[in-house]
Amino acid sequence: MKAKQKLAPSSTQIILLSFLVTILIGSLLLFLPISAKSGTSVSYIDALFTATTATCVTGLVTVPTATTWSVFGQIVILLLIQIGGLGTITVLSGIVIALHRKMKLKDHQLISDALNISSLSGLADLVKKVILGTLLIEGVGALLYLPVFLPEFGARGIWISVFTAISAFCNAGIDIIGEVSLCRYACNPLINGVTSALIVLGGIGYIVWWDLLRVLKGFRAQGIKCLHKLTLHSKIVLLATAVLIFGGAVCIFIFEYQNPLTIGSYSLFDKIQASLFQSITTRTAGFATVPQENLTSASAIFCLLLMFIGGSPVGTAGGVKTVTVVVLAATAFSVIRNKNESSLFQRTLSREAVRKAIAVVATSFSIVFLSTVVLAAVMPAPPLDIIYETVSATATVGLTRNLTPFLNTAGKIVIIATMYFGRVGPISLAIAFQTKKEITQNIKDPTENVTVG
């Protein structure tokens, strides 16, 4: 019995393997001649890169999606995006539920780990809500795109609308419009508004959705006061998201105001919407309405911070997550004020949350640092372009300063590995912190003070 338990894979191993298997299957499908628009197979490294960027909902592409892949290939990419956005375990669990099969305790534990939530109760209903809510929002987004894409592309505009809506909600940033992302729609309020809304809804996380719906039921009776009933998690997510979006937009607006290569020639309204979109998409969405290589150095460096932070937990976004950064900031502030505990909104943060936040940031920073060094060694390019690429890959953003299409084989391998570890690394850490502590952890080593700072 004990031998069987030792051989059984852990939740972490199953989730890591599920992403890897999905990527490999996707790469083999994309390697088929039927997947290429030309009828001739693309190189396997490009097929693998595309499968990885789709499954990890990153958006970096070595070959143009619109002109390289056939309809079959684009369908494969879209399925990988949807699976990657929802999470492989969530999708498989949804299939099990749809087939009316009863879920076992280990299945509930696996879903709990995959979604990074501690409770095991009501998980089947949560999976249903996540899948149905996702499909509903993506469907509405596709319908809202139609007034622009249908007149411009004809019947193909329907497919473009569906593809773009799913890609935006899953924070993937892959499109089938052309080779310059959404740059041609930089001054289109509908495209900017719908895409931004889909990105934010996917990025704030599923549990915030349900929490908002719960408290808004009392809006008629209590008005804005009902928001006080939000959980601490939701308050942190919503506040951090608003600060990062609008604060980022203000900084980009200032840095790019007179830049003729980005928004310098736009009207005031278009400058505002372009700056707002750049601030939103930088936090792991990957669509671009201005060429990233034309950004000023100040904007590019500021965008590195936004990319590294990313979206929020239990959603489709990447990065170290808003809650993680807020927890670390609150902890630093409490140390400065010589307080023993960190608190937010009159609630004390658990030490477990602080430890997890430190581990996630440390892991992500390590991935960025190592991939930057290795990519710089194998790929001759300006340092800012290289670090922009690696941060984008680690945080599964998908923005590039036009470096991705020119990556050599070694560079592609580096970015493939970076995207994979950037996607699964924080998940693995979160699961590790949720597992039961070993008895040996209760045996403490002698304490000795060290000098810090």
**Where exactly are the structural domains of the chain?**
8-434
Relative orientation angle of helices 232-256 and 206-216, to the nearest 10 degrees: 110
Burial readout 320-358 (b: 16 or more C-beta within 10 A, e: otherwise): bbbbbbbbbebbeebeeeeeeebebeeeebeeebbebbe
* Token pair belonging to 253: 């607006």
Q: Looking at residue 425, what is its pLDDT?
A: 74
Q: Looking at residue 212, what is its pLDDT?
A: 86
More confident residue, 41 or 106: 41
Count of CB atoms within 10 A of residue 24's CB?
A: 14
Asked if pLDDT for residue 102 goes beyond 70, the answer is no
Q: Looking at residue 285, what is its pLDDT?
A: 86
This prediction's pTM: 0.87
pLDDT tens per residue across span 241-282: 999 999 999 999 999 999 999 999 999 999 999 999 999 999
Q: Report the pLDDT averaged over residues 80-92.
A: 74
Q: Looking at residue 220, what is its pLDDT?
A: 66
Q: Report the pLDDT averaged over residues 125-146.
A: 88
**Cα dist. 81→179, 281, 414 in Å?**
19, 17, 21
Cβ neighbours of residue 431 closer than 8 Å, sequence gap 6 or more: 11, 12, 15, 113, 116
Asked if pLDDT for residue 50 goes beyond 80, the answer is yes
Angstrom distance (rounded) from CA 10 to CA 435: 10
Q: Looking at residue 440, what is its pLDDT?
A: 47
Asked if pLDDT for residue 439 goes beyond 50, the answer is no
Q: Report the pLDDT averaged over residues 180-195.
A: 93
Angstrom distance (rounded) from CA 275 to CA 278: 5
**Least confident segment among 48-57, 90-99, 163-172, 257-266:** 90-99
Asked if pLDDT for residue 377 goes beyond 80, the answer is yes
Angle at CA 139, nearest 5°, toward 137 and 140? 65
261 contacts 402 by C-beta, under 8 angstroms: no
Asked if pLDDT for residue 45 goes beyond 60, the answer is yes
SS3 state of residue 267: coil
| Nearest one of 119, 96, 87 to 14, comparing CA atoms | 87
Q: Looking at residue 438, what is its pLDDT?
A: 45
**Least confident segment among 189-198, 405-414, 434-443:** 434-443
More confident residue, 63 or 284: 63
Angstrom distance (rounded) from CA 401 to CA 194: 25
More confident residue, 52 or 4: 52
Write down the residue that tokens 């599964």 correspond to. 396
| HSE of 386, CA atoms in CB hemisphere, 13 A | 18
Q: Looking at residue 436, what is its pLDDT?
A: 47
Which pLDDT band holds residue 221 (cuts at 50, 70, 90)? low
Which pLDDT band holds residue 376 (cuts at 50, 70, 90)? very high
Angstrom distance (rounded) from CA 453 to CA 451: 7
Angstrom distance (rounded) from CA 169 to CA 31: 26
Q: Looking at residue 97, what is its pLDDT?
A: 54
**Cα dist. 66→42, 161, 181, 269 in Å?**
14, 13, 10, 30
More confident residue, 255 or 335: 255
35 contacts 72 by C-beta, under 8 angstroms: yes
By percentage, how much of the chain surpasses pLDDT 90? 56
Q: Report the pLDDT averaged over residues 418-442.
A: 65
Angstrom distance (rounded) from CA 88 to CA 219: 36
**Least confident segment among 13-17, 53-57, 264-268:** 13-17
Q: Looking at residue 350, what is its pLDDT?
A: 85
**Least confident segment among 58-62, 107-111, 346-350, 351-355:** 107-111
| DSSP-assigned letter for residue 344 | E
Write down the residue that tokens 């089938």 correspond to. 176
Asked if pLDDT for residue 428 goes beyond 80, the answer is no
* Token pair belonging to 125: 């209903």
Q: Looking at residue 244, what is its pLDDT?
A: 95
* Token pair belonging to 119: 């409770």
Q: Report the pLDDT averaged over residues 39-49.
A: 95
**Least confident segment among 202-206, 219-223, 346-350, 357-361:** 219-223
Count of CB atoms within 10 A of residue 61's CB?
A: 25
Which pLDDT band holds residue 432 (cuts at 50, 70, 90)? low
Q: Report the pLDDT averaged over residues 54-79.
A: 94
Asked if pLDDT for residue 164 goes beyond 50, the answer is yes
Q: Looking at residue 95, what is its pLDDT?
A: 54
Q: Report the pLDDT averaged over residues 67-77.
A: 95
Q: Looking at residue 353, what is its pLDDT?
A: 85
Angstrom distance (rounded) from CA 46 to CA 31: 9
Q: Which helix (H) or strand (E) holds 348?
A: strand 347-348
